[in-house]
Amino acid sequence: MKRYIYFILQSSLAIAMKIFVDRLNQTPIELQKIEIVERKGLGHPDHVCDSTMNYVSTELNKAYLEKAGTILHYNVDKSLLVAGETEPRFGGGLVKRPMLLVFGDRATFEANGVEIPVKEIAIRAAKEWIRKNLRFVDSEEHVRYQVELKPGSPELVDIFKRGGRVLCANDTSAAVGYAPMSRLEKLILSVERYVNSPNFKRKYPESGEDVKVMGLRLKDEVHLTMATSFVDRFIKDEEDYFKKKEEVLDEVYQFVKDSGFKSASIELNTLDVRGRGLGGVYLTVLGTSAESGDSGQVGRGNRVNGVIPLNRPLCSEAAAGKNPVSHVGKIYNVLTHRIAERIYEEVPSFEEVYVWLLGQIGRPIDQPTVASAQVIMKKGKSFEGVKKDVERIIDEELKNIDKFCIELARGEIMIC
């Protein structure tokens, strides 16, 4: 029995990377009758966790490079934002209990006899992200911080001591990316970014950062359900709330109506009920439901291209906070989208492109067990005539994966 197990292990290590390109007989998203897309915006508790932990990751990368000359073992992709307690009031309410941000998983605390202040770096990075992105959250007063980062296992830590142009994967993980984004996906992304843009906030300061947009397309008609927190210090009473809500709704509708669909409609804060006072309005003290209504968690937010596309295949890995040079759950998650976009742009024969990468723990990250592209052809185009082009692009991107990892490490690529 032991010999048999040994043979299987040895054989698995000998598997060479294969690139597969298949024709996908599937109706493109744009031609499907129903499409559903969601985005959790800047101040949504899940998005706060994703963005904060990815910023912590970027700051750790800087510290490791400065102290050790290389990025060391860590994964800070486990985080919970525990909701606080507030008392919203027309004209301005109270924060009764602060939120709690918990940092979890693994990190390296020492390199070559030099201590690396991981806890301090994590808290400082989180406070900086909050100051830059949440206007009414005081990072010192309204949030408490609990760092539960511990040293990694010896075998995973040793990956970073083995050297080489690229590291071995520290997990067995698969990812999928696609191109192009659909019209609805682009619209949902742009609506949230518009509502959370500096210009919009200057015009409508009562609009909080906690924005969620759910889009439904039925053939060529689109309907959006949107939730936007309102900040109580800018709202005098119930009548003022509904007046300002209508103003915000009209502004967003003007943005949406010319998006190219046959028709477009939008509803805002559909739980609201007139005549119920504070119980019938979405009012917050700080502009985020995390202040009292909803907790957040890494991995429950947007996919790495900024949306939650329910009609597409999705990767189960949370990319935010993962190590950018060894964790294929992050690297492949983002790289599959980049490869798909490049294939779609450079080979004008496809309606859609889907790219899959499967990494195996212990294998170099530039040598996935499987790299695959599934393509939906445009009418009249030859699949065999472009198959080699697709293989070439995948091969080129994998050969340059070290450069791609540097971009990830510097925080130059959006991942939520």
Let me know if residue 341 belongs to a domain.
Answer: yes
Indicate whether 152 and 216 sit together in one domain.
no
Average pLDDT, whole number, for the chain? 94
Examine the domain organization and report whether 139 and 72 are in the same domain: yes
pLDDT band of 2, cuts 50, 70, 90: very low
Question: What predicted TM-score, i.e. pTM, was given to this entire model?
Answer: 0.93
CATH number at residue 376: 3.30.300.280
CA angle 49, 361, 374 (to 5 degrees): 80
Q: Whole domain around residue 283: which residue ranges? A: 184-297
**Domain-terminating residue out of 297, 315, 347:** 297
Q: Is residue 330 part of a domain?
A: yes
Q: What is the CATH number of the domain that holds 280?
A: 3.30.300.340
| CA-based radius of gyration for the chain | 24
Any domain includes 203? yes
Number of domains observed in the structure of the chain: 3
Per-residue pLDDT band at 1 (split at 50, 70, 90): very low
Same domain flag for 241 and 280: yes
Residue 227 forms part of a structural domain: yes
For the stretch 161-217, pLDDT in tens is 887 889 999 999 999 999 999 999 999 999 999 999 999 999 999 999 999 999 999
Which residue from 204, 209, 216 is spatially nearest to 192, judged by alpha carbons?
209
Say what the pLDDT of residue 26 is: 94
The verdict on 319 and 402 lying in the same domain is yes
Q: Are 234 and 92 found together in one domain?
A: no
The pLDDT > 70 percentage for the chain reads 96
Same domain, 280 and 241: yes
398 and 365 within one domain: yes
Do 98 and 134 belong together in one domain?
yes
pLDDT at 3: 39
Residues 346 and 212 occupy one common structural domain: no
Whether 176 and 244 share a structural domain: no
- Does residue 8 belong to any structural domain of this protein? no
Checking if the pLDDT of 13 tops 50, the result is no
Cα–Cα distance for residue pair 367/399, rounded to 1 Å: 9
Residue 10: what pLDDT?
A: 38
| Boundary-marking domain end, from 130, 161, 192 | 161
Residues in the chain: 416
What are residue 115's DSSP bridge partners? 110
pLDDT of residue 293: 86
pLDDT in tens, 136-166: 999 999 999 999 999 988 888 888 888 788 9
Last residue of a domain, one of 241, 268, 297: 297
State the average pLDDT over residues 227-231.
98
My answer on whether 177 and 305 are in the same domain is yes
Say whether pLDDT at 9 is over 50: no
Average pLDDT over residues 283-293: 96
Q: Is residue 358 part of a domain?
A: yes
| pLDDT 10s digits, 354-413 | 999 999 999 999 999 999 999 999 999 999 999 999 999 999 999 999 999 999 999 999
How much is the average pLDDT of 222-232?
98
Q: Is residue 32 part of a domain?
A: no
The answer as to whether 34 is a domain residue is: no
Task: Indicate if 355 and 379 belong to the same structural domain.
Answer: yes
CATH code, domain with 111: 3.30.300.10
